[in-house]
Structure 1
Amino acid sequence: MKPNQRLRRERELRGWSQSRVAQELGTDPATVSRWERGLSFPYPFFRERLCELFGKNAEELGLVQETPTTLPVEESLALPAIDSELSPVLPISPDPILDPTIPLLSAIDGSLIGRDDLLQHIRDQLSDTTRGPAFVALNGLPGVGKTSLAVALAHDPSLQQTFSDGILWAGLGPHPEVLEHLSRWGAFLHVDEASLSNKESCESWAQAIRFAIGQRCILIVIDDVWQIEDALSCQIGGPNCAFLLTTRFPHIALHFAAGNTTPVHELAENDGLALLARLAPHVVQDETESALELVRSVGGLPLALTLIGKYLRIQSYGRQPRRINAALTRLRDARERLQISEPRSLIDRHTSLTPESRVSLQAIIEVSDALLDLPARTGLRSLSVFPAKPNSFSEEAALAVMALSQEVLDTLSDAGLLESNGPSRYTLHQTIADYARVLLEDSEVYTRFVQYFISYLEEHTQDYSLLDQESRNTHIALELAHTRQMHDTFLRGVKASSPYLFVRGRYSEAEKYFSTALELALSLQRLSDATVFLRDLGRIAHTRGNYLQAETYYQRGLQLARQQQDELAISRLLTHLGTIMHRRGLFSESIAYLEDGMLHARHTGDQEQLSYILLGLAQAHGSLDHHKQAEEYAWESLEIAHSLGNGEHLADVLHRLGTLIYERGDYEQALGLLFESLDQASLIAHREKMCHILNNIGCVLGELGDFPQAERYFQEAQELAQQINAQEILCTILGNLGYVANECGEYEKAEPFLREGLALASKIGHSVSICECLESLGTLARNRRDYTQAEKYYQEGLVRARLMNNKRSIISMLTGLGATMTACLRFEDAEHYLEEGLALARDIHRPHQLCNLLYEYGKLEDCRQQPQRARVYFQEMLTMPAIGEEVMARARYGLARTAALEGDYTAAHQLGNISATFFAQQHHRLSKEARLWLDSLPLSQEEKASEY
């Protein structure tokens, strides 16, 4: 084809752009450009519009195609003989067909948001005619945008070029006029109506149209199909045609297109907000959170968002806050959202509705609802009590709540109202659920829902993966049990949900339930239940680091348990009180509570409770550095835990035992136990336990000098602790992150961690963590050579440690003070602090702390120019069993400096290089210092000889 200079000249004479012409015609600038360049020819519909627009006839605009009077030989020989009596077809027009009943693209909505990938996928399917006609089907919920996609594709320039002979459209709906569509198509194809054997027969029209299409490339769109027979009546066309069907019924889509069936899903949250912003930009700009809430309230359904957006655009045109807020308030009500509507023009009516109907969510869904039988309609309303998508529910739960047969679920699925969500699981879209819930009248449905899921909680108390799947359903069941005053059921449900809520770290949700249940239990004089809820509230307060509040809950629970003479409850509460005393640094009080609890546990014979108490005693005695006794308790607890086969409890025992063994310096065995504990905790996804275990693994790796790996474990623990708001362990983790950064010489990174950890530990009264943060802050100040500030931190920590009688913290503070005094050249003070710390460390058998003291003592003797005495301390470090590479590297570094003092530069270089290499690999804070020191040394005899 040649370029159409006439069309271009007429446009330019008027000073119009291609965009202006496209806008007037209802197409796009790219199509106008192709007409002018002669790449394509306007369909008759657009040719008439062009003539009207420019006031010229087709010839004056260059819109008349020249057709050959004779066909090439090959083509003429290929034509079949035409029997005028059999064929009602007139000579074929060369003009492409563009069905004028194709809905126009919306002038407001513009291109479809969030559908680019889907549109391209459908284009590819339709264009693939290598194996004959392409059959493509779109199915999805009412209002999900199937017709909009079909309209966009019908106007798509690339598809118009692919199907160069035209596009036919049939909008069917529940009561289609198939004959009307076929006769219209016949007119476009110049079918002689008079020659039809029966012009009132769809079959006669179909045969004639099929013959008229022949080898043409035509796209046939069959929109809003409700019966497969109607779609098949429109399935006419030759081998070069393609068919695009849209329907809300999955079985129709599958029957029509088989593997080329594409489900159309609702919009993602961001795309839904973008659609709302296009329609009501001021509302989204000024009330973003409210707009996002609306997107969620309709589950991203495009029709709902379009109706809401147009309504908000009208209500916000003057940007009056009062009117906008009133509109938003109205839209928060499901009934109002369902009834928001808009009128349609006579030629743009929705095929599922009658001509006089306004388009609304209610009207669109009502059409499907009206076709259901009574059981299916009843079942749909019953299922609306389930939380909407993305929540899902099992077939078993659905049948129990509906009290109907499985056939109802099949009917609802076939109707496109109930979606599958995996084997034997279903989900309801938010708008469908809203519609059905508004019409629900049977209150017994709520009772069946509550009873089913409370029983489910009781049957699967520790089946955490199953409870994860039903989490939203059980939450709603508890809420309904409370609001509907099903008191006994509510109390049962709260007790049954307790293990799951703790394992998943859902403390805020748990606290709300336990507080409500406690108040109810006390009012009903259900003292046994009240004791349980007091204990669980204490556990939450404990986890959050609020020890005084936790103690109050436990003491109240203990009082009630003693009133009822419930020995098992007494034992459990005494165990919790012992743990709280331990956290507060009151180790003797902790042991007293635990030993009292053990008496009650042995009397009841509850082995799991006995194992927990033994574990608590191991922890308390370990803090008092009674290592042998602590490990005996821990091993006994582990033996019981293995016999019980309780993974959650086993994780606790392995963790505590691993920590005790780590504290006495057996790092390899400790890591084995801790990783085994982590495996057990991970199996049940117990996030709080995982926090503690990950933190302790990081501690072991830190003492081994593997700081990068230690930091990774601390970071993972920090992320988990923040997710569940576990403040007690979080302050410890923050202190450890600061410690690692400090050891790596990253002082700017360390300080925020330490200050945040100290603030949190002070807030919750975690004495041990306070001391740890003070020690690290003192070390940070000392590394920065701010010795005055360092001494203040250490002295404050020492006072707190002595008050707790926590010997480990005392040793740490004395070590820091000794190092600080050495740096200040206050050697006598340094010796005083180090001597006290050394005696204490030897007494409680703390290898790592002992090595730290020996290292600082060696440095002190070096500063005093006493290399022989210094060597004794550094050599002793190397004799310690399983002390780790980091300690050995520091010992060798100390020996290297001692050798240099004695003039043995060969040994100094040799030992110094080994240490410096390790420090560099581990990003240790001593890395730079060691390298500078080595560079300052005189050459050894060997190095001097090598220069010659």
Structure 2
Amino acid sequence: MTIEGPQGPVTIAAPRQQIILAMLLFEANRPVPVDRLMEAVWGMSPPATAKGQIQICVSILRRLFAEAGMPDMITTAPAGYLAQVPEGELDLRVFDELVRSARKGTAEGRYPEADEDFRMALSLWRGEITTGGSSVLQAVEVRLGEQRLAVTEEWAEVRLLLGGHQELVGELMELVGEHPLRERLRAKLMLALYRSGRQAEALEVYRVGRTLLVDELGIEPGDELRQLEKAILSGAAELSAAPAPAAMSPAAAMPPAVAVIPRLLPGAVSDFTGNVELVQQVSAHLLPPSEPTANPGVRIATISGKAGVGKTTLAVHLGHELAEEYPDGQLFIRFNGLSASPVTPEQALERFLRALGVPGNSVPAGLEERAELYRQSVADRRILVILDDVAAEEQVRWLLPGSPSCAVLVTGRSRLAGLPGALTVEVDVLDSEHAMKLFVKIVGSARVYAELSKSLELIALCGGLPIALRIAAARLAARPHWTVEQFVQRLVNETRRLDELVHGGLGVRAHLELTFEVLSETGRRLFRRLGMLETADFPGWVAAPLLGLDPDDAGEVLDELVDAQFVDVEKVAQGRQIRFKLHDLIRAYSRERLVHDETPADRIGSLTRTLSAWLFLTEEAHRREYGGDHTLIHGAAERFPLPGHVVDRELTDPIDWYERERYGIIAAVQQAAGCGLDELCWDLALTAVTLFEARSYFDDWRTTHEIALTETQRAGNKRGEAAMQHSLGTLRLFEQRFDEAAPRLNAAASLFHEIGDTHGHALVLRNLAFLDRIQGRLESAEARCHEALDGLRAVGDNIGETHVLNSLAQIHVDRGQWDEAEKLLTHILSLLDATDSRRVRAQTMCRLADVHMARHDHAAAESLYAQTVTAVRAYGDEVGEVYAMHGLGSALAVQSRVDEAEETLLKAQSRANYLAHRLMSGRIGVTLGRMYLDVLKWDRALDALTQSLGIFSELDMSTWRCTTLQAIGDAYDGLGEEDAARMAWREALTLTGELEPAAVGALVEDLRKRLGE
């Protein structure tokens, strides 16, 4: 680095001195703190001697400047140093002044002068900045490079207006090559090529750019590029080079004094992004009609949305887009509707009348008189009126023109649906594509794409809320030494997020506070407490326990929050219950207010009521599904009952309700554990098994129960611990992890026996009996069934009793005792007539169909299986559907309807595999294998049977292994492989020695016959 002074050049070679000088020059004539200089030299880890070293470097720089004839260049300032640079001697400042002059010339139509200023400004760039490895200076370099590119784009716009497209092509090609993702540069190059007669090359530039954007960012080009491509393809006349419009003199620009044209619109936001369809919809509605209409009223559109979503930005953008359609002026006023002192209709009318040319002393005093004069002043004129941040329709009505030649655009957080004939739209948060575009426009593409994954994470943390994105981007732009990752780390902590989203007096929290302050006291309380919910969305009934109010009264309070745009209404399918949710940043604010405004006792009381309401509804859903309090034990936790009409509305279909509230129930179990509510925690987890079992949500089953088990063990709650051990053992049965099921079930049986809980002990015996039966221990299974029956009958658990009777019926089936099985199953169905347990009835029908199959009454079996399939599908029992479809496929197979049977069985097996139900997958494979044997498809039979054998071996199910090996031997025999067949039969016969004779008597005889013994 070389200094040119009056007494000659002086070289500055030391990197630290170069960094310090660069920092002082970037802030020329402003003091730079020593801490800032230290950060520039050493980053975030300066040595202990850093201040002293800075002083030494500054002293050396002063000496060098003195040698060059500039002794007063660097002076000491409070807490730092200052570089004194005379006006016009620092290129950076000259650049800024020239750019300001060029922009002013452009705005005034003085394009040749603007072109010259832009040229001179850009000619000042003579190489890269010397950074000396400083991350701070590197960030400044990125910012200045972004600024240079933006100015280059503006200059290109002016050159195109002046017809200089041909000389632009080369430079633009070079710049697009260096910055391939910069869409505005690419658009200028396309236009320059098109105007130079190179249409094909212009379209190729578009295609290359689109490929890059899609491949690297996963987004389509923006509107400007897409529309330009269409225009080039169609040869649109407006793309042709035209002479630059002549500059208008100030005198010519002034309207006649008698026809003042108000231009009150704020400046348009240059980085406006998103809401394309909404802009088109509102613009179309507000456009003046081309012909007289039958209803010539004032066209009105209202825009609503939550705080910070960009309503004002959208309204101003629309105002500028429609300005040409309303040449007589645009009126704009911000009502500050939710502030402590909003603008009144009287004040708004006074401002508008003055803007329309009415002298101050001629403005009437009364509201009605002002409104009359206002309507008269805009009559027959084409004026667009924008009323921003309105709180209520009453503010709007006084400012509605009487003439259909005018249009009105209104914004407000509440949905202003009471204005006659108004188009009402709502602004949503930005989707990820438009959020990224906005972020890139503010921060700069180089910085964003250097940390693309972290940039996407930051955008997600802002939740698509434009104000949050703008603040986050502005903070990064103002701190070029920050990485995106550093800022993300600051935002991840929800308790600090709103503190971080503040910049230049603008903050997300401040916007939300305006809405919060105008809520009723009950509305504020509900808003605070909604932050306690741990689910992404929630049902409306939670407002009642959160507030401790009647659901109807609580619902009105929730509606207040919806109207204030604090709570979003989720779009749901017709006929389904409405869902609500909080935006992530609004939830963060809700939790802030909760901690600040409510005592711990208030918080825990509200949360306990809400968790108790979850338990109440979950228990009622189980009761309605099973026809009573069956097959479950319950704890003594308090319930928060909801009125009957709410329960009936919610639980029209209990399993569907469980599915809808699945994540809420899981979160409630977790929160109950976190609050030390062990009794509520285990009871809620156990009752939710109704869903986990029906829909095979085994991970949810395991997660909730392990949480509850830990909590009950911590609290010394033996009954709750026993219930969780029992249910976790049952889960292992469903997963066919039988070796893990037995220890859990035995532990539960011991605990229930120890505390004398007859019901719990009987339920465990029921499952231990099932485990015995499927592992071939029929006598033990039968004994445990009878013992379980005694306990279940003693406590009146009718459904639990039918479960055990079903198991006894299956034992009869396994022994070939068909009459006993049919008699018992028919008795079970008669017992179920007094209940409303759809699942148990379907299971019993399926088992009765099994008996018909065993007796060769295949038509009756088919009918029962088909009825069962219809029944289980009606309430979403996926496991039950697999069982019923297996039975139906078996009935079709034995009736030689092979194609129908194969289709049904393969669908059933695919479903079983999806549900990870290995036992049923293996059983279906055996049925398929035997069907293939019957039709002499030996290879296909062998494949199906071999897969099933692997499953039964893993599950250690000897009975099924025996029957499968027998069928595998038959397949080998059909293929003429006698040795392999005899080996399979011999292995099956050996396994029968491990089983009870009653279960395998006929099988042993059959195997011996095959082996010739």
Q: TM-score range by the shorter chain?
A: 0.5 to 0.7
Q: Distance in 1 between matches of 2:509 and 2:869?
A: 52
Instruction: Tell whether 2:422 aligns with 1:263.
Output: no
- Match of residue 442 from structure 1: 599
Most deviating of 446-455 and 273-282: 273-282
Residue 525 of structure 1, CA deviation: 5.3
1:372 to 503, 511, 519: 519
Structure-2 change in CA distance of 1:503 and 1:260 (3 Å): same
1:654-733 maps to which residues of 2 (within 5 A)? 654-706=845-897, 709-710=900-901, 713-714=904-905, 717=908, 721=912, 725-732=916-923
Q: Distance in 1 between matches of 2:1011 and 2:828?
A: 37
2:538 counterpart SS class:
coil
2:586 to 428, 432, 435: 432
1:748-767 maps to which residues of 2 (within 5 A)? 760-767=951-958
1:202-252 deviation line (CA, Å, top 9, x unaligned) = 8777656644544455443333223434433443363133322221112xx
Q: Kindly indicate whether the alpha-carbon contact (under 8 Å) linking 2:815 and 2:998 is maintained by their aligned counterparts in 1.
A: yes
Residue 334 of structure 1, CA deviation: 1.8
Q: If the length of structure 2 is used for normalisation, what is the TM-score?
A: 0.62
Residue 394 of structure 1, CA deviation: 1.2
Instruction: Tell whether 2:802 aligns with 1:632.
Output: no
Instruction: Tell whether 2:144 aligns with 1:11.
Output: no
- Match of residue 397 from structure 2: 232
The code of the aligned residue for 2:301 comes to V
Residue 363 of structure 1, CA deviation: 1.9
Q: Distance in 1 between matches of 2:442 and 2:969?
A: 60
Q: Kindly indicate whether the alpha-carbon contact (under 8 Å) linking 1:172 and 1:225 is maintained by their aligned counterparts in 2.
A: yes
The code of the aligned residue for 2:515 comes to S
Most deviating of 585-594 and 281-290: 281-290
Residue 805 of structure 1, CA deviation: 6.8
1:540 to 721, 731, 737: 731
1:461 counterpart SS class:
helix
- Match of residue 501 from structure 2: 341
Instruction: Tell whether 2:292 aligns with 1:145.
Output: no
Q: Kindly indicate whether the alpha-carbon contact (under 8 Å) linking 1:390 and 1:427 is maintained by their aligned counterparts in 2.
A: yes
- Match of residue 223 from structure 1: 388
Q: Kindly indicate whether the alpha-carbon contact (under 8 Å) linking 1:699 and 1:736 is maintained by their aligned counterparts in 2.
A: yes
The code of the aligned residue for 2:312 comes to T
1:89-146 deviation line (CA, Å, top 9, x unaligned) = 82588xxx8755142231xxx641xx34434433443348543332221212223333
The code of the aligned residue for 2:812 comes to H
Q: Distance in 1 between matches of 2:799 and 2:223?
A: 76
Residue 727 of structure 1, CA deviation: 4.3
2:258 counterpart SS class:
coil
> Where do 5+ consecutive residues of structure 2 fail to align?
1-110, 113-157, 173-183, 190-221, 571-575, 625-653
1:260-659 maps to which residues of 2 (within 5 A)? 260-267=423-430, 300-305=464-469, 307-308=471-472, 325-341=485-501, 343=503, 357-358=505-506, 360-387=507-534, 389-394=536-541, 397-398=544-545, 400-401=547-548, 406=554, 408-420=557-569, 426-440=580-594, 441-443=598-600, 444=602, 445-463=606-624, 464=654, 465-521=656-712, 526-598=717-789, 600-601=791-792, 606-659=797-850
The code of the aligned residue for 1:552 comes to P
Q: Distance in 2 between matches of 1:249 and 1:626?
A: 72
Root-mean-square deviation (CA, aligned residues, Å) is: 5.3
2:247 counterpart SS class:
coil
Q: Distance in 2 between matches of 1:616 and 1:629?
A: 13
Q: Kindly indicate whether the alpha-carbon contact (under 8 Å) linking 2:353 and 2:363 is maintained by their aligned counterparts in 1.
A: no
1:79-94 maps to which residues of 2 (within 5 A)? 90=258
Q: Kindly indicate whether the alpha-carbon contact (under 8 Å) linking 2:777 and 2:995 is maintained by their aligned counterparts in 1.
A: yes
2:363 to 187, 198, 207: 198
Q: Distance in 1 between matches of 2:783 and 2:705?
A: 29
1:894-933 deviation line (CA, Å, top 9, x unaligned) = xxxxxxxxxxxxxxxxxxxxxxxxxxxxxxxxxxxxxxxx
2:301 to 136, 148, 156: 136
Q: Kindly indicate whether the alpha-carbon contact (under 8 Å) linking 1:382 and 1:401 is maintained by their aligned counterparts in 2.
A: no
The code of the aligned residue for 1:442 comes to T
Residue 654 of structure 1, CA deviation: 1.4
Q: Kindly indicate whether the alpha-carbon contact (under 8 Å) linking 1:105 and 1:151 is maintained by their aligned counterparts in 2.
A: no
- Match of residue 833 from structure 1: 1010
Q: Distance in 1 between matches of 2:763 and 2:541?
A: 37
1:679-706 deviation line (CA, Å, top 9, x unaligned) = 4434543333333223333333344455
Q: Kindly indicate whether the alpha-carbon contact (under 8 Å) linking 2:259 and 2:357 is maintained by their aligned counterparts in 1.
A: no
Q: Distance in 2 between matches of 1:581 and 1:13?
A: 91
> Where do 5+ consecutive residues of structure 1 fail to align?
41-49, 68-87, 345-356, 818-830, 837-948
Most deviating of 796-805 and 257-266: 796-805
1:465-496 deviation line (CA, Å, top 9, x unaligned) = 44444444433332222112123333443344
Identity %: 20
2:162 counterpart SS class:
helix
- Match of residue 411 from structure 2: 246
1:474 counterpart SS class:
helix
The code of the aligned residue for 1:372 comes to L
1:799-830 deviation line (CA, Å, top 9, x unaligned) = 55675579999999999x9xxxxxxxxxxxxx
Q: Distance in 2 between matches of 1:338 and 1:239?
A: 45
1:57 to 244, 247, 263: 247
Q: Distance in 1 between matches of 2:792 and 2:164?
A: 100
Residue correspondences, number: 753
Structure-2 change in CA distance of 1:533 and 1:751 (3 Å): same
Q: Kindly indicate whether the alpha-carbon contact (under 8 Å) linking 2:942 and 2:972 is maintained by their aligned counterparts in 1.
A: no
Q: Kindly indicate whether the alpha-carbon contact (under 8 Å) linking 1:216 and 1:240 is maintained by their aligned counterparts in 2.
A: yes
Q: Kindly indicate whether the alpha-carbon contact (under 8 Å) linking 2:985 and 2:1011 is maintained by their aligned counterparts in 1.
A: no
Structure-2 change in CA distance of 1:732 and 1:261 (3 Å): farther
The code of the aligned residue for 2:586 comes to I
Structure-2 change in CA distance of 1:560 and 1:791 (3 Å): same
Q: Kindly indicate whether the alpha-carbon contact (under 8 Å) linking 2:766 and 2:804 is maintained by their aligned counterparts in 1.
A: yes
2:889 counterpart SS class:
helix
- Match of residue 945 from structure 1: none
Q: Distance in 2 between matches of 1:116 and 1:338?
A: 29
Q: Kindly indicate whether the alpha-carbon contact (under 8 Å) linking 1:220 and 1:244 is maintained by their aligned counterparts in 2.
A: yes
Most deviating of 283-292 and 578-587: 283-292
Q: Distance in 2 between matches of 1:420 and 1:39?
A: 44
Q: Kindly indicate whether the alpha-carbon contact (under 8 Å) linking 1:394 and 1:425 is maintained by their aligned counterparts in 2.
A: no
Q: Distance in 2 between matches of 1:626 and 1:408?
A: 64
1:244 counterpart SS class:
strand
Structure-2 change in CA distance of 1:162 and 1:491 (3 Å): same
Q: Distance in 2 between matches of 1:177 and 1:31?
A: 45
Structure-2 change in CA distance of 1:383 and 1:561 (3 Å): closer
1:616-646 deviation line (CA, Å, top 9, x unaligned) = 1221231233323332332222222233442
Q: If the length of structure 1 is used for normalisation, what is the TM-score?
A: 0.66
Residue 669 of structure 1, CA deviation: 1.6
Q: Kindly indicate whether the alpha-carbon contact (under 8 Å) linking 2:350 and 2:370 is maintained by their aligned counterparts in 1.
A: yes
Q: Distance in 1 between matches of 2:962 and 2:448?
A: 50
Structure-2 change in CA distance of 1:779 and 1:448 (3 Å): same
Structure-2 change in CA distance of 1:593 and 1:447 (3 Å): closer
Most deviating of 687-696 and 706-715: 706-715
Q: Distance in 2 between matches of 1:227 and 1:691?
A: 57
